[in-house]
């Protein structure tokens, strides 16, 4: 059921946006490729981030009984939880490939670099996951808040629709690193180009910095936090 769920969630999300757009309640914007390819590909990257972040945030608390009985590196729990989202991403990418075939659309050559392209998102997810898992060990509501935040953030991040050119959402998007990471990865696969290279480069740098700093903090504090779980 887990693999099937990896297909169902993005299809339901994308289907909802299509219904809203057809009803005139939401404007997706102009897209040069078939919308299902554009949207499912974006959702695959988004869920790589959101599912990994939610799972890693809860990883220490969910393994509470094992942590108290066995002495091992707690980093492995966070890494394994993000690894599950990587597997789900691989399953969803099969759907993306099927859509390319169905719509007779040829992807860009960067599609063979997907394992490399997803690394910045994985690094950002791990970095945030290290910190949030510690915080969740101290304040147990953190996991629920992150789950709620991911749902809200999905609608604020132009993943299933084109980035607006003006307004509050356009301003928020300009400072949203996950937008640049997902949008740039999608563009590389679809067209072989990146339209916002500066934003992408800064977001990659931020991802690496968050990962490095969070890893150090986690290493220094994991034992003390584990005692409180």
Please give the chain's pLDDT, 229 residues, in tens: 555 666 676 677 667 766 766 666 567 777 888 888 998 899 999 999 999 999 999 998 887 777 767 777 788 999 999 999 999 999 889 889 999 999 999 888 888 888 888 999 999 999 999 999 999 988 888 999 999 999 889 889 998 888 888 888 889 999 999 999 999 999 999 988 899 999 999 999 999 999 999 999 998 887 777 666 6
Q: What is the pLDDT of residue 6?
A: 62
Give the separation between CA 208 and CA 214, rounded to whole angstroms.
10
CB 159 within 8 A of CB 25: no
Q: What is the pLDDT of residue 126?
A: 97
- Name every residue whose Cβ is closer than 8 Å to that of residue 4 and which is 6 or more positions away in sequence: none
What does DSSP assign to residue 66? H
Could you count the other beta carbons within 10 Å of the beta carbon of residue 3? 12
- Name every residue whose Cβ is closer than 8 Å to that of residue 197 and which is 6 or more positions away in sequence: 184
Q: What is the pLDDT of residue 17?
A: 65
Give the separation between CA 109 and CA 188, rounded to whole angstroms.
8
CB 135 within 8 A of CB 189: no
Q: What is the pLDDT of residue 161?
A: 86
Give the separation between CA 41 and CA 189, rounded to whole angstroms.
9
Give the separation between CA 118 and CA 182, rounded to whole angstroms.
9
Q: Helices in the chain by DSSP H: which ranges? A: 2-22, 35-57, 59-62, 64-69, 75-102, 114-117, 119-138, 142-156, 168-174, 177-190, 197-226
């Amino acid at each position: 059921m887990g693999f099937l769920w990896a297909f169902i969630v993005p299809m339901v999300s994308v289907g909802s946006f299509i219904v809203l757009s057809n009803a005139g309640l939401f404007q997706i914007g102009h897209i040069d490729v078939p919308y299902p390819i554009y949207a499912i590909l974006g959702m695959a990257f988004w869920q790589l981030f959101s599912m990994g972040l939610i799972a890693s945030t809860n990883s220490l608390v969910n393994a509470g009984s094992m942590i108290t009985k066995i002495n091992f590196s707690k980093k492995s729990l966070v890494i394994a939880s993000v690894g599950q989202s990587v597997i789900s991403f691989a399953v969803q990418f099969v759907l993306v490939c099927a859509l390319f075939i169905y719509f007779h659309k040829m992807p860009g050559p960067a599609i063979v670099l997907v394992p490399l392209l997803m690394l910045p998102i994985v690094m950002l997810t791990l970095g945030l996951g290290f910190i949030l898992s510690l915080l969740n060990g101290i304040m147990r509501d953190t996991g629920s808040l992150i789950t709620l935040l991911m749902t809200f953030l999905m609608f604020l991040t132009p993943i299933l629709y084109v980035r607006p050119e003006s307004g509050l959402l356009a301003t928020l998007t300009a400072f949203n690193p996950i937008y640049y990471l997902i949008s740039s990865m999608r563009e590389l696969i679809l067209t072989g180009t990146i339209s916002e290279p500066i934003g992408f480069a800064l977001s990659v740098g931020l991802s690496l910095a968050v990962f490095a700093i969070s890893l150090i903090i986690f290493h220094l504090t994991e034992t003390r936090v584990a005692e409180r779980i």
